[in-house]
Amino acid sequence: MGSNHERPDQLCADFERAHPCVFRTLSNTIMNARDVGESWPDRCYAPHSLCVGVMGAYYDDPVICDEMGRILQAIAAWRMGGKPVLVIAHDLGDQIQHPRIGNQPAAPLLRFPFWSLYVPLVTSFAGVRGLFLAPEQRAPGRDELCVVLDAQEGLLPTTIRISARETVREMVNRTYDNFLCYTRPGPRERHWVNLVMRTNILWRVSALALIICTSTIRSLGHSHLIRPALANGYPRKPRQQPALWMLDQPQSEVAEAQKGIAGGGNALRLAFRR
């Protein structure tokens, strides 16, 4: 198994070293919330509010708690959700950057098939080695896709709010507007804004997520389900090794957007290029 596939396990270990017992604390918090009748969609491992509450034991600043809660939600969901890593056998670069994909409805993103998925990049893109994608729900009717970039500066989180009434282009444009309005000033935040605006990475991430949601995904060398089996309603212990998943040819929902698009290069190299 290559280092790209082992990378998310390393990130989880680093996060727990910086925040001792954080995954056990979150697991206990989830169990306690379920026991008192709290509920959230099955497609989400844990709601954002629980993750922010857990991070409150480590930070006093509510803005930092919110940021670290997003990171915790994505990596804990990956860790307990079967440790899926995406392998892409064919080039998606031209498909992701083709303007017609922006006219596709954003609704399929509400069916994101994993609790959290790590996507390693073939080559580093603006210092980003890979990314986590994880569905979440802030409140009933407010569905989001949590995006955590694995960057040189550390894990950089943001969210893309999903509306079934919007196209992908409308969703991304609104996300950019909100991103600029609500990102506080600071060296780390200025770098994040510069990365997002310079590379248009949220467009690429949204297009990639749409292709994932509208394509056939099969396992490689294991029989693990996309979402893990539960014991008494709660996830069992995490897998020892990451599970590889293959993205096959897209289905009809995005076929129209891909007509006449010729591939080239390797996997995500063209999708994430300067």
Distance (Å, whole) CA 159 – CA 180: 13
Give the chain's end-to-end CA distance (angstroms, integer).
Answer: 28
| 257 phi and psi angles, rounded to 5 deg | -70, -15
Distance (Å, whole) CA 63 – CA 245: 35
108 vs 241 pLDDT, higher one: 108
- Collapsing DSSP states into helix, strand and coil, what is residue 47? coil
CB 174 within 8 A of CB 164: no
* Residue 254: per-residue pLDDT: 40
42 vs 249 pLDDT, higher one: 42
* Residue 135: per-residue pLDDT: 93
pLDDT winner (highest mean) among 21-30, 81-90, 263-272 = 21-30
Distance (Å, whole) CA 236 – CA 218: 22
* Residue 260: per-residue pLDDT: 31
* Residue 215: per-residue pLDDT: 78
* Residue 63: per-residue pLDDT: 85
Share of the chain above pLDDT 90, in %: 30
Token pair 């056939």 in the structure block, residue? 216
pLDDT tens-digit series, residues 149-172: 898 888 988 888 898 899 988 888
| Residue 256 C-beta-side C-alpha neighbours within 13 Å | 6
Mark 190-202 as b/e (b = at least 16 C-beta within 10 Å).
eebeebbeebebb
Query: With 90 as the cut, is the pLDDT of residue 117 above it?
Result: yes
pLDDT tens-digit series, residues 196-221: 655 677 888 888 898 888 877 777 66
Instruction: Tokens for 46, please give them.
Output: 């844990």
216 vs 46 pLDDT, higher one: 46
Instruction: Tokens for 20, please give them.
Output: 């001792």
Token pair 């990102």 in the structure block, residue? 183
Q: How confident is the model at residue 128 (pLDDT cuts 50, 70, 90)?
A: confident
* Residue 17: per-residue pLDDT: 97
Of 120, 115, 112, 88, which Cα lies nearest the Cα of 9?
120
Query: With 70 as the cut, is the pLDDT of residue 90 above it?
Result: no
Helix boundaries (H) for 36-150: 48-55, 62-80, 93-97
* Residue 76: per-residue pLDDT: 95
